[in-house]
Chains A and B, each alone.
Chain A
């Protein structure tokens, strides 16, 4: 591996542990991230020139630690205090944790819980967690959530300020509180994951690679709390959906719908892991766990079908029906209607769309589905009308191109 590759791997795999270690020692959220960023920059210059150190992670930790101490000394000088007082800012015994291999697992759990504290707004928490735990750059987080980079930088800064000002602790709560806090972690991870699959307004249809960072967050947390059902259900759901990412966009950047995807591009290892996790989950009373589990059941039905025609739509419909009871949202009802159409035929799907126009006003998805189902019934004039509405409402270029192609393919397309 080249020096750059070693550095990239260290940043990808160790960022969260390094932040956790530094935070454990110095408790200065405002200094730690910058110091680590500086250390990575220094490594990028030095390693290619002087050679890669034997223990890259330890090198980064030492360099970052030195930078935090420099800043603390500068602050102490500015406050006209003796530089020696800087020692007070260090956690007692912190020096004993020089080797990242000695990292107490709890430090990383503390970091996850800090970023995913319920006192932080979900969009702030997910940005902080991706930045501090997974090491995603601010620019990439901005891209994931479809906001300008400056907005995202301000959001992350606001989050850090709130943590310090409100006194959000760097600690692990008691056994009675911890499960609730881990649910918040799951919700934060889910938000970031679904952001990666939400179509944007431009040509950048899928930001699925970035959704992978949310999978990383859940994996890290699950590594520390392996038995937590909410995290296991969420990871199953994520893996089974995320495994299809390479097949969702064609070579020309166009959207490839599920039936047309090249199934050999799906990641077999992730499918296998997701199915194993799912098989170990029994239905339970917890609505959040059930919501993730049932979405995983739907994803599993798709990834285990050898061909699109062989999809077990009966299982998908059952899962959606259960999901509607747990989480009765219009988006779930729309997905359920699509599944009903596949199981019972387009007429059944049209009937299941009843009332969704009112529930999802302005959405292009309801007329898009209606247009597709009408086209399958041969009611081309009505289908064209619905697809025209969908095209007019759709804000995503790739999706709109797909809808326009469908509209143009109708035999009565020009005859309305």
Chain B
């Protein structure tokens, strides 16, 4: 099994303007994704995220040198809107699962790595 973080990006307005029917469609698609993951692997966690305008970004640096700015990493029409942390057999399974997510999303699949010589507390 490999561990992946699946990041979803979408246009915030698309959700804000969605009818109840469309929102049910989103919900069904997420359920389909979650079922696929449970059948082929394991869901470790996942959550929707508040809009990017609520994000706070710290630039590179140490301590007080890190500049704190308002907003996400990059300003784009699409914003990261949520994530799943899952275990699946391989990239093809992750792609198959990601295809089930709401059609308006752009989805990024990132393998999770273990950093040698670092053990989380």
Contacts and interface: CB of A to CB of B under 8 A. Distances in A.
Nearest to B90: A169
DSSP majority for the B interface? mixed
A165 B92 CA distance: 13
A101 interface: no
Contacts of B95: 119
A114 to B, nearest CB: 11
Contacts of A169: 89-92
DSSP majority for the A interface? loop
Interface in B64-97: 89-92, 94-95
A15 to B, nearest CB: 25
A109 B24 CA distance: 41
A251 interface: no
Contacts of A173: 92
B2 interface: yes
Interface in A157-213: 165-169, 171, 173, 177
Contacts, number: 26
Contact of A119 (B2, B89, B91, B113): B91
A167 B113 contact: no
Contacts of A166: 91, 109, 111
Contacts of B91: 117, 119, 166-169
A166 B95 CA distance: 11
B113 A171 contact: no
Interface string B1-44: 01010000000000000000000000000000000000000000
A171 B92 contact: yes
Nearest to A163: B91
Contacts of B113: 165
A168 B111 CA distance: 11
Nearest to A170: B90
A168 to B, nearest CB: 5
Nearest to B88: A167
Contacts of B94: 167
A171 B113 CA distance: 23
Contacts of A168: 90-92
A167 B111 CA distance: 8
Interface in B87-121: 89-92, 94-95, 109, 111, 113
11 contacts: A117-B91, A119-B91, A165-B113, A166-B91, A167-B4, A167-B89, A167-B94, A167-B111, A168-B91, A171-B92, A173-B92
Q: Which 5 A-B pairs have the closest CB atoms?
A: A169-B90, A167-B2, A167-B90, A167-B91, A168-B91
